Structures are given as structure tokens and as C-alpha cells.
């Protein structure tokens, strides 16, 4: 791990800007979930078609993020972060200004790709300004930015959408993104890629089977969550019999749980990342079962929804920690992969849940989630025995001397 702590770099300010960037980008991603009905009506498309906007963002992040990270590996992380933020701001202007569904879908793919690049570069930058033993917590700060955006972005997006329309909500995202861009230019330090860490050499380590095996845990965990959560609003309407402002309260509960999970998850990642992944997958499974069994009771449904968010997001820092450790010299490129796995899981989960609903009603989306979650538990347990290659410890001696 290459460390860039000099007299000018203020770790707190750097982590603050990266957190803000993650938060704003996460809000943009979640806005669509909160305003899916409004967007569907306004663009005269079906709700599943509006759901494609969620999938497009996730796929852009899952595929575009690592591709852009790979292509920009030899550049300093500072200009990469600034460029990613700039593209994000411009791409969010499109849906705010133009009434066109195909253009909106394309914009969401671009936004997702910029977000993926931002996450990877932010992870490398965050871990470069803190001591080695706090890397899990530094990663957790960025992941928490995304989690908190679910907590606040979803309900705020829903309320904003109802108050000023969904386009104005995207306008708000653009304004916030522009502020982050200015702060990034002022605050972020230079983080050059160490020589001898070429893209192809990194890729060999980043895509090693042991890394991909651990990534599959994240893919499955988030697929299980999103199979249910993507269709939470119709579930609450039809099964729990709540609608209107109360739905925002449920979304807020989910969001707060994800934020608490990801903040707390940093400490668990620094302690025992492999075990945290197993516990998280088990917690998600139990919460989904509770949602199906007790879904008609609003209080128990709220508890189950909180459990899904808490246990699922608590695994975020641990996945990042495990992947970076298992990738060794491929760590800078591997930093982009957990976000890809999560978003591939989100895309697959929302698709699987939607397909299940088409066949058998809204509860079948949650049951689909349970099936995926059980597989996630098994894979999490199996991958907990994987260890990093011996070569991975070599760069660490260098970081101790450059600190």
C-alpha cells in the first residue's frame, strides 16, 4: 500500500471530501428508487421499465467502473477523482433537462461508470492517508457515504419528488455534485500509482480465483437484499397495508440501518473480515424470512427491513478489506471490484425480484431473496478459509518505510 502522508495532507479533510462525493453519488443512484412511480408516469413507461433505470446505473457501475479503473491505472488518483466527479455532474444534468427515456437510460449507465471509477480511486486515496491498521475504517467512511445516501437519499428523494417533481430533484443532485467538485479540486492530495504496478500486472492479481470467490459473496448478499428491497414500496402497499408518508418512514428505517451497518462494519473488518461476511449473510437471510412471515405487521415488517439493511451493509467494509488483502499487488485495481460485485448483485436481484413478481405476486420477490441469501451463507462460509498469497505482504514493508 503506497502512503502519501505529507505535511500538507489533512486526512480528515480528504476523507470528508471523499465521503461527500460518495454521499452525493449514492443519492443520485437512490433517487430513482424513491421516485419510480413518478418517473414511470411522467415518461409514460411501466414501473418495471422505470426499474431499468436502477439496473442501468448498477450495470454501468459494475462493468464501466473496473474498465475505467483499468484504463486509468497509471494516472495519479487526484485527476481521476476530479474527472469522475465532473462526468457525474454533467451526466446528471441530462435527465434534469430532457424528457427522454432512452437518453435517461444511457445517462444512468454513464453515471454508474463514473461512480465506479470514483469509488475505486477514493478507496486508494483514503487508505493512502491513514496508517495501515486503520484501512478498514478509512474504507468504511466511503462506504458509509453511500449507505447514508440510501438512508437520506431515498426518503428525501421521495419527498422532494412529490414536492417539486423528479427533475428538480436531479437538479439538486447536480448542484451538490458541483460543490463536491470544487472541494475535491481544493483538498485532494496527489496519489501517484507506484512504478511497476502496470494495469496488466495488477489485473492478474485482482482477478485471481480467490478474489473472485470472495466477490461472489457480495454479489449474492446484495442480490438477496435487492430482490426484496427494490419492490419494498409495492410490498408495503399490498402486504403490510401502508402507503403515502409512512412508506418514507420505512425507507428511512432501512437507510439508517444501512448507515449504521456500514459505519460499524469498519471495525469488524479490521478485526475479522471473513467472519463478518458469514454473520452478515446469515443476518440478511433471517431478516428476509421475518419479512415474509411477519410482513402483515407494520412493526415487525419495519424490524425485518432494518435487519436486511443492517446486516447487508455491515459486510461492505469487510468485502473491500478481504479483496484488497487477497489481491496483494493488484490492490489498486481490485479496489473497484467490490462495488462492481455489489452492483451486479443489485442488478441481478432487482431483475430476479421483478421476474418473480410477474409470475406470482409481490411476496415472491422476497422469497426469491431468501433463496439467494441461503446460497450467500454457504459461499461466505466456504470462502472464509481463503488466505492471501505470500507475495501480498511484500509491498507492506515499503509502506512502513515511506510513512
Cα(160)–Cα(16) distance, integer angstroms:
25
Establish if 1 belongs to a structural domain. no
Q: Examine residue 324 and state whether it is found in any structural domain, yes or no.
A: yes
State which residues form the domain around 274. 11-402
Q: Give the model's pLDDT for residue 196.
A: 60
**What's residue 224's pLDDT?**
97
Read off the pTM.
0.78
CA–CA dist 361, 384 (Å, integer)? 36
Alpha-carbon span 45 to 54, nearest angstrom: 14
Determine, yes or no, domain membership for 224. Answer: yes
Q: Is residue 2 part of a domain?
A: no
Query: Is residue 8 very low, low, confident or very high in pLDDT (cuts 50, 70, 90)?
Result: low
Residue 3 lies in a domain: no
26-30: average pLDDT: 86
User: Over 70: is that where the pLDDT of 343 sits?
Assistant: yes
Which tens digit of pLDDT belongs to each residue from 357-386?
A: 888 888 999 999 999 999 999 999 999 999
pLDDT band at 127 (very low <50, low <70, confident <90, very high): confident
Residue 292 lies in a domain: yes
30 located within any domain: yes
Instruction: Specify the CATH number for the domain of residue 99.
Output: 1.20.1250.20
387 pLDDT more than 70: yes
Single out the residue of 101, 334, 372 nearest to residue 220, CA to CA. Answer: 372
Q: Is residue 4 part of a domain?
A: no
Across the chain, how many H-helices and E-strands are there? 19, 0
The count of domains in the chain is 1
Q: Does residue 365 contact residue 227 with C-beta atoms inside 8 Å?
A: yes
What is the dihedral sign for C-alpha 142, 143, 144, 149? positive
Close Cβ partners of 258 (under 8 Å, ≥ 6 residues apart): 147, 150, 151, 309, 310, 312, 313
- Are the beta carbons of 157 and 35 closer than 8 angstroms? yes
Amino acid at each position: 500500500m503506497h502512503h502519501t502522508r505529507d505535511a500538507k495532507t489533512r486526512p480528515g479533510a480528504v476523507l470528508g471530501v471523499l465521503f461527500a462525493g460518495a454521499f452525493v453519488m449514492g443519492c443520485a443512484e437512490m433517487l430513482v428508487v424513491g421516485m419510480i412511480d413518478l418517473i414511470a408516469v411522467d415518461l409514460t413507461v411501466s414501473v418495471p421499465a422505470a426499474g431499468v433505470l436502477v439496473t442501468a446505473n448498477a450495470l454501468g457501475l459494475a462493468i464501466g467502473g473496473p474498465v475505467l479503473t483499468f484504463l486509468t491505472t497509471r494516472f495519479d488518483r487526484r485527476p481521476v477523482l476530479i474527472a469522475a466527479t465532473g462526468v457525474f455532474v454533467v451526466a446528471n444534468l441530462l435527465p434534469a433537462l430532457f424528457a427522454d427515456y432512452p437518453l435517461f437510460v444511457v445517462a444512468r449507465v454513464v453515471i454508474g461508470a463514473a461512480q465506479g471509477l470514483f469509488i475505486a480511486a477514493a478507496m486508494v486515496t483514503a487508505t493512502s492517508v491513514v496508517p495501515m491498521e486503520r484501512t478498514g475504517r478509512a474504507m468504511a467512511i466511503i462506504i458509509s457515504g453511500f449507505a447514508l445516501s440510501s438512508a437520506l437519499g431515498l426518503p428525501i428523494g421521495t419527498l422532494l419528488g412529490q414536492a417539486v417533481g423528479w427533475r428538480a430533484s436531479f437538479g439538486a443532485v447536480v448542484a451538490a455534485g458541483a460543490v463536491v467538485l470544487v472541494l475535491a479540486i481544493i483538498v485532494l492530495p496527489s496519489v501517484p500509482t507506484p512504478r511497476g504496478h502496470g494495469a496488466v500486472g495488477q489485473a492478474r492479481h485482482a482477478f485471481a480465483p480467490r478474489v473472485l470467490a470472495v466477490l461472489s459473496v457480495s454479489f449474492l448478499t446484495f442480490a438477496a437484499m435487492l430482490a426484496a428491497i427494490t419492490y419494498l414500496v409495492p410490498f408495503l402497499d399490498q402486504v403490510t397495508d401502508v402507503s403515502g408518508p409512512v412508506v418514507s418512514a420505512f425507507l428511512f428505517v432501512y437507510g439508517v440501518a444501512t448507515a449504521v451497518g456500514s459505519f460499524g462494519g469498519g471495525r469488524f473488518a479490521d478485526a475479522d473480515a471473513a467472519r463478518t461476511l458469514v454473520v452478515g449473510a446469515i443476518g440478511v437471510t433471517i431478516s428476509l424470512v421475518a419479512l415474509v412471515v411477519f410482513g402483515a405487521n407494520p412493526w415487525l415488517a419495519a424490524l425485518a427491513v432494518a435487519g436486511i439493511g443492517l446486516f447487508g451493509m455491515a459486510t461492505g467494509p469487510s468485502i473491500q478489506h478481504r479483496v484488497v488483502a487477497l489481491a496483494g499487488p493488484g490492490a489498486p485495481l481490485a479496489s473497484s471490484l467490490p462495488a462492481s460485485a455489489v452492483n451486479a448483485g443489485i442488478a441481478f436481484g432487482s431483475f430476479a425480484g421483478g421476474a418473480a413478481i410477474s409470475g406470482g405476486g409481490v411476496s415472491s420477490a422476497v422469497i426469491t431473496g431468501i433463496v439467494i441469501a441461503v446460497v450467500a451463507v454457504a459461499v461466505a462460509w466456504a470462502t472464509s478459509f481463503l488466505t492471501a498469497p505470500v507475495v501480498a505482504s511484500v509491498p507492506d514493508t515499503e509502506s512502513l518505510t515511506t510513512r
